[in-house]
Structure 1
């Protein structure tokens, strides 16, 4: 049993969401007081899981109800009927459903890679919705559909989508890799996730135990391999259109923003990080040496950077 199994563990909950093809259940891991209406929503990267945030959640569960979903198609969540729905707009819709369930007074956000894109699009929609909604006149009592987004942390992701970096990730997303021994799965994660930076053997094992499942004597990936289909079909024109939407959302984020960046990242180049700071006066950036894509938010310095920002 790993050391992580001997300390506080989260509660596993589910919420029913809808796509164009039907209903699906999204799992989420919940830490802290379930009655706390101050919520921290932590959303993982493309092929990861909500358990990536265990260390961060333990450090913040005294101040927040920390909620870490397994995005659809990953972890304990249902796989989608139509793989074409493995796209950010669907994930945003699922997060809106989740937030309606938790009834938060305040929602702060931590998003790693894809999780940051989901948060950015959601924030852009929240910022735009009051202006687009018809006026209810004297009987209007505010906008009940608005989501109380507060501070947001974007972990090694920005509005610019680097095609080379995305291509590197796409190379292994759809690989059907199976291993007889867990140690071989750990070695695979270590090789494909070198950008996570240095970790000890226990660290790499913990980064593997929730992204590989044991089935019939084999360790297999925890996610639907079909999620690679819409990811791999992105064209330069589609990415350019997405970037316009993301920059527009970035320029209108509602509150303070922290950008985390691995100094060796191929997903968030340093010039893009600087442009982000230039265009949003509420943003600041913290970089971590010896790390690429993406900081795992497990080390003391990374946790401290997030904690001090969120609780400032």
Structure 2
């Protein structure tokens, strides 16, 4: 069985970053690696099942690296919360790739991770062979972002991972009818960690400060110019069927951009879809297969 190895990297400003590195089973190092970028408050554990499927594929395994951004997972917290922003985190991804000897890769960006890929397409397009955008595009729905802000602002301290899974299912269950009990338990284990005998969300609580600063009375900025750069590469845009962050209209506009952009819908899932679910994983595997 393939296991991940912890890699610690020093960011350009000296902060210690962490990534999980999954070696391909039986070789496979001749194939381009896959780098996974999580959502705003999430960490590399979100991709564990997905990374195992990719790195242990019996026919065409490949190396997978999943990142903890600064202030998440095993990466150090930043003393300046203003550094929790997409351009800074993009720089961290670029630094991580350099430290791990990755000069070109396939990328999967979930939510925040997809925004980082938009910026990377402008700064370092040579790093990106192709990308999967998981429930994110150049335009974000304000109502969905407000829900994320409000959810993160209500800090919870579940008594156990079972309790955490119950809470997650109660909150998100209506938009994720495709998930089974085991999925909610795995999600709880990815989101929370034990600290001083208590379960806490595995991120710096000051992350929410950046969301609180958004003025929702004004239109949210969009990234269409950056998307045009990203769409020069092969892209697969995934939308959760019940997503309130990524609209059908934005997905359709992305699809109309050109032949490089493929789209798919994750049935029975919201924001953001679990990539290892069989139907969705098969679609992603087919997309990545020839790259």
Identify whether the pair has TM-score above 0.5, normalized to the shorter chain.
Answer: yes
Structure 2 distance, partners of 1:105, 1:84, is: 29
Change (3 A) 1:57 1:202: same
Aligned to 1:26: 17
Once the two structures are superposed, the pairs formed by residues 14-93 of structure 1 within 5 Å of their partners are 14-19=8-13, 23-33=14-24, 36=29, 38-62=32-56, 63-93=61-91
After TM superposition, give the deviation of residue 258 of structure 1 in Å: 0.2
Aligned to 2:183: 203
Rg: which structure is higher? 1
Structure 1 distance, partners of 2:136, 2:250, is: 10
Aligned to 2:271: 293
Unaligned runs of 5+ in 1: 1-6, 128-146
CA contact 2:240–2:268 (8 Å) conserved in 1? yes
The alignment yields a C-alpha RMSD, in angstroms, of 2.0
Size of the alignment, in residue pairs?
281
CA deviations 1:189-245 (Å, max 9, x no partner) are 2234334443222221111112111223321111111001012212258864x41xx
Change (3 A) 1:275 1:11: same
Aligned to 2:108: 110
After TM superposition, give the deviation of residue 182 of structure 1 in Å: 2.3
Change (3 A) 1:176 1:148: closer
Which is worse superposed, 258-267 or 209-218? 209-218
Structure 2 distance, partners of 1:81, 1:102, is: 25
- Partner secondary structure for residue 210 of structure 1: helix
Aligned to 1:269: 247
Aligned to 1:135: none
Structure 2 distance, partners of 1:176, 1:236, is: 22
Change (3 A) 1:36 1:196: farther
Unaligned runs of 5+ in 2: none
Aligned to 1:130: none
CA contact 1:174–1:227 (8 Å) conserved in 2? no
- Partner secondary structure for residue 206 of structure 2: helix
* TM-score using structure 1 length: 0.84
Structure 2 distance, partners of 1:106, 1:289, is: 31
- Partner secondary structure for residue 18 of structure 1: coil
Structure 2 distance, partners of 1:311, 1:237, is: 43
Which of 194, 208, 214 does residue 214 from structure 1 map onto?
A: 194
CA contact 2:2–2:55 (8 Å) conserved in 1? no
* TM-score using structure 2 length: 0.90
